[in-house]
Copies of this chain bind each other. A is one copy, B any other.
Amino acid sequence: MRVDQERVARMTAFKHYRAHVGSRADKFYKDTLFQGEHVMVGLNCLEPGQVQPVHDHAEQDKCYVVMEGSGRFTVGDEIREAGPGEVVWAQAGVPHGVENVGSERLVVLVCIAPPGKG
């Protein structure tokens, strides 16, 4: 019975992003909400001052959706601050990264397609 309940809990198609928020002292925090063959949906949480260095994925498209806080995003030649509701797009091969230059936690939902090394 316990196993069945755990199985059902694992299989739900519904997850609130807030249940996946977390922090690490040494680097920004990542969690995975869902992963299929074609896309991974995860959460990145950056405390003030934390950085995701600019990098690129040659074969993966990525989007960020800012859920809380704000960050200074770099995508190609664009550098902009983005807050809640902003969607940031890094097409395959385009360098991208983000820095939390604010005073509160930055929480971004990320989709990476196809899934692979983040």
Contacts and interface: CB of A to CB of B under 8 A. Distances in A.
Interface of A: 12-18, 33-34, 36-39, 41, 59-61, 63, 65, 67, 73, 75-76, 78, 80, 82, 85-92, 94, 96, 109, 111, 113-114
A41 B109 contact: no
Given A65-B65, A113-B111, A87 B15 contact: yes
B113 A38 contact: yes
Contacts of A60: 38
Contacts of A94: 13
B87 A37 contact: no
B13 A92 contact: no
Given A65-B109, A111-B39, A13 B85 contact: no
